[in-house]
């Protein structure tokens, strides 16, 4: 599997990263998926302290502790669990972040995190304090780099203008092309895109049209529009999943596709689809078939 440089950092990430939120809570089954990922060249693993109230980090830590020097570990911070363990609230304060990272490090069984990401945020937050905190953690060697996971243009713009963030995680796919307006700016600031939702909840797979029957709409696509769009995409001379993955990878700003997997079979299907190269003319046709929109809220 090919690797790409994350921003202008020293980190190189596999073109497919494993989104660990979808892993089963059964450790044996999860370990099988993680092993399959490693065996197929995946070196980037993305989790968050929020996932399963920290147990996801703990599971990843157990599975990868003997491979630590071979992988890139990313986690997130900002969503703070209630004391009861039921529900959470937003806390991007320096006090919480500097406390939360030590909890994540312990669960991940490591001395440092490769990419530490703010798990959301608004312009009402003290983003300067967040950035200062991230820089301090980097100076102390607790993190190598930092980024944000956000779809809000106001937050993205602030971080691009005022920080040394190396990545922005956004939902991006053929059915959600809203992030494209930011690509030239990301490149200008040497920031990489970490793409999540690349298969649009399974709509951009061979089983996609069946999934449409279980949903009334997807973003601005009505059910009728979805069916018509997927029918056109499936008529292209390439598997729809391969088209979806390669469409995102053809963007030079893309660092890694973060794909979830709840089974080994699902992961291997995605890896197989990734291995099929799609001609540029087919990707251009796919682009013509789908909508190009922009975020209408949280504008700069």
**Residue 170 falls within a domain, yes or no?**
yes
User: Could you tell me if residue 235 is inside a domain?
Assistant: no
pLDDT in tens, 105-117: 999 999 999 999 9
**∠ CA 149-151-157, rounded to 5°:** 90
Q: Is the pLDDT of residue 79 over 90?
A: no
Q: What is the pLDDT of residues 245-265, one digit of tens each?
A: 999 999 999 999 999 999 999
136 belongs to a structural domain: yes
What's residue 81's pLDDT? 72
pLDDT of residue 298 exceeding 80, the answer is no
pLDDT level of residue 213 (50, 70, 90 thresholds): confident
User: For 103-136, b where at least 16 C-beta lie within 10 A, e where not — what string?
Assistant: ebbebbbbebbbbbbbbbbeeebebeebbebbee
Confidence label for 216 from pLDDT (cuts 50, 70 and 90): confident
Residue 163, pLDDT > 70, answer yes
Helix-helix angle 94-108:127-139, to 10 degrees: 40
Asked whether 62 and 109 are in contact (CB, 8 A), the reply is: yes
Size (the chain), residues: 300
pLDDT at 226 exceeding the cut of 80: yes
286 located within any domain: no
Number of domains forming the structure of the chain: 1
- Domain-embedded: residue 265: yes
Q: Which two tokens stand for residue 173?
A: 């796919």
Model confidence at 121: pLDDT above 90:
no
CATH number at residue 66: 3.20.20.100
Question: Which pLDDT score, from 0 to 100, does residue 222 have?
Answer: 94
288 within a domain of the structure (yes/no): no
Quote the mean pLDDT of the chain. Answer: 93
Q: Which of 98, 106, 56 is nearest to 77 (CA)?
A: 98
pLDDT band of residue 295 (cuts 50, 70, 90) is: confident
For residue 128, give its domain range. Answer: 3-199+251-276
Q: For the chain, what percentages of helix, strand and coil (3-state, to nearest 5) are there?
A: 45, 20, 35
Segment 163-173 shows an average pLDDT of 96
Catalytic residue among 51, 218, 221, 274: 51
Is it the case that residue 300 has pLDDT exceeding 70?
Answer: no
For residue range 174-209, what is the model confidence (pLDDT) as tens digits? 999 999 999 999 999 999 999 999 999 999 999 998
d(CA 192, CA 249): 12
The answer to the question of residue 147 being in a domain is: yes
**Span 35-62, pLDDT tens digits:** 999 999 999 999 999 888 889 999 999 9
pLDDT of res. 284: 97
| Residue 179 in domain | yes
- Percent of the chain beyond pLDDT 70? 99
159 near 192, Cβ under 8 Å? no
For the question of residue 51 being annotated catalytic, the response is: yes
The pTM score is 0.94
């Amino acid at each position: 599997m090919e690797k790409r440089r994350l921003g202008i950092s020293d980190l190189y990430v596999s073109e497919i990263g494993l989104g660990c939120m979808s892993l089963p809570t059964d450790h044996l089954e999860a370990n099988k998926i993680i092993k399959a990922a490693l065996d197929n060249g995946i070196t980037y693993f993305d989790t968050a302290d929020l996932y399963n109230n920290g147990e996801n980090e703990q599971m990843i830590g157990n599975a990868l502790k003997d491979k630590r020097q071979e992988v890139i570990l990313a986690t997130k911070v900002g969503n703070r669990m209630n004391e009861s363990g039921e529900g959470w609230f937003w806390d991007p304060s320096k006090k919480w972040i500097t406390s939360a990272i030590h909890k994540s490090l312990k669960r991940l069984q490591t001395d440092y995190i490769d990419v530490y990401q703010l798990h959301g945020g608004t312009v009402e937050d003290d983003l300067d304090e967040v950035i200062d905190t991230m820089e301090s953690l980097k100076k102390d060697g607790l993190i190598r780099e930092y980024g944000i996971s956000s779809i809000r243009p106001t937050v993205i713009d602030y971080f691009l203008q005022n920080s040394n963030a190396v990545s922005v995680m956004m939902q991006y796919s053929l059915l959600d092309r809203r992030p494209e307006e930011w690509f030239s700016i990301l490149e200008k600031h040497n920031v990489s895109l970490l793409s999540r939702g690349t298969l649009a909840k399974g709509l951009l797979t061979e089983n996609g049209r069946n999934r449409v029957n279980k949903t009334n709409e997807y973003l601005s696509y009505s059910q009728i529009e979805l069916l018509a769009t997927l029918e056109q995409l499936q008529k292209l001379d390439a598997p729809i999943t391969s088209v979806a993955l390669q469409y995102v990878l053809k963007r030079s700003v893309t660092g890694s596709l973060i794909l979830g997997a709840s089974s080994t079979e699902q992961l291997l299907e995605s890896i197989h689809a990734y291995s099929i190269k799609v001609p540029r003319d087919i990707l251009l046709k796919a682009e013509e078939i789908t909508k190009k929109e922009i975020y209408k809220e949280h504008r700069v």
